[in-house]
Amino acid sequence: MALWVTRRAGALGILAAAGLGLIGCGGGPAKPETPKAAEVKPDAPTTEAKTEASATDPVVAPSVKAAPPIDDPLYHPFADATRAADNPPALANMPADKTSTGKPTFKLFNAVQQVWDEIRFTTPDGKRIDYTAVLETDFGQVEIALRPDAAPNHVRSFVALIRAGYYDGMRFDRIHHEVSPDQPSDPLDYLEAGCPLDKGDPEDGSIGYWLRAQQAPGLPHEIGSVGASHGHDGDSAACKFYITLCNAPYLDRDYTVFGKVTRGLDVVRIMFTKPVVIEEQDPPGHNRPKDPIFIRKATIRTQVAAASEGK
């Protein structure tokens, strides 16, 4: 993952072969708020937590068929929210024909486009729809509360990729642990997943589109934050994501956080402690797990917020 930092300056120093620098690994995740009951409306998601199973073959049944409301501030058309293969970010690698799991990238790309407009963050009567991503891993379940209010395009893309079955069978392909000689008490720790070719190249990550940056004002990088990996260009985020095990406020203006682990941070920590393979070409501390750590299945749960919680 290409998240570069100059730790003393508190800013990113962009280098060709660097990895994510994340500072401060104390503390734990905030306790998730208990969802409240909500009123049921026709054609809106149910108030009970609803799991949408992703498909191996990326053929997606739309959940809402009506066009997005033109006054929805969280909606941006696919063409406006992304950069396509005819306008790629600087240095970004072009997508391969198939992912490491054997899924054709053009089918996944088409599936994302098909459901983009149908992913809603509010009901027709204005109630907020909460989204939770659930990752079934080799070591347990990880739940991520998604935040479309902070990064709607990144959340919409993540939800669409999950519905298309993109992450099923993918790996947590990089474990980053680096200790600075001048600051040994602040190791740099994070996990990364979702590389289409499972290579860990900072410029890999696309199946045919890239997301335009959505950093400001943004969410802070805290323990358990989930953000979008990108390469040299800030507009090169696509499919890869990272989970921080550190507080890293200096990344807040340069990388987009679109969710936070609300359950299963202990699972993330277990994965982080697994042995790694140190290869000569890898940046310091940016290593592949010795034994593959798979995302067996990824799903989405939706729930309508109670009226008192607002939109």
pLDDT for the residue numbered 300: 98
pLDDT for the residue numbered 253: 81
Instruction: Encode the chain (311 residues) as per-residue pLDDT tens digits.
Output: 544 333 433 333 333 334 443 333 444 434 444 444 333 333 344 444 555 544 444 444 444 455 656 678 899 999 999 999 899 999 999 999 999 999 999 999 999 999 999 999 998 888 999 999 999 999 999 999 999 999 999 999 999 999 999 999 999 999 988 776 766 666 678 899 999 998 877 888 899 999 998 766 789 989 999 999 998 898 999 999 999 998 877 778 888 999 999 999 999 999 999 999 988 777 777 789 999 999 999 999 999 987 655 54
DSSP states of the chain as a string? Answer: -----BTTTTB----TT---------S-PPPPPPPPP----TTS--SS-EEEEPPSS-----S--SPPPTT-TT---HHHHEEETTSPPTTPPPPPSB-TTS-BHHHHHHHHHHHHTT--SB-TTS-BEEEEEEEEETTEEEEEEE-TTT-HHHHHHHHHHHHTTTTTT-BEEEEEEEEETTEEEEEEEEEEE--TTSS--TT---SSEEEPP--SS-----TTEEEE---SSTT-BSS-EEEESS--GGGTTTS-EEEEEEE-HHHHHHHHTS-EE--TTSPTTEEEESS--BEEEEEEEEEEPPGGG--
pLDDT for the residue numbered 180: 65
Q: What is the pTM of this model?
A: 0.79
Domains and CATH numbers, the chain: 50-309 (2.40.100.10)
pLDDT for the residue numbered 309: 56
pLDDT for the residue numbered 36: 42
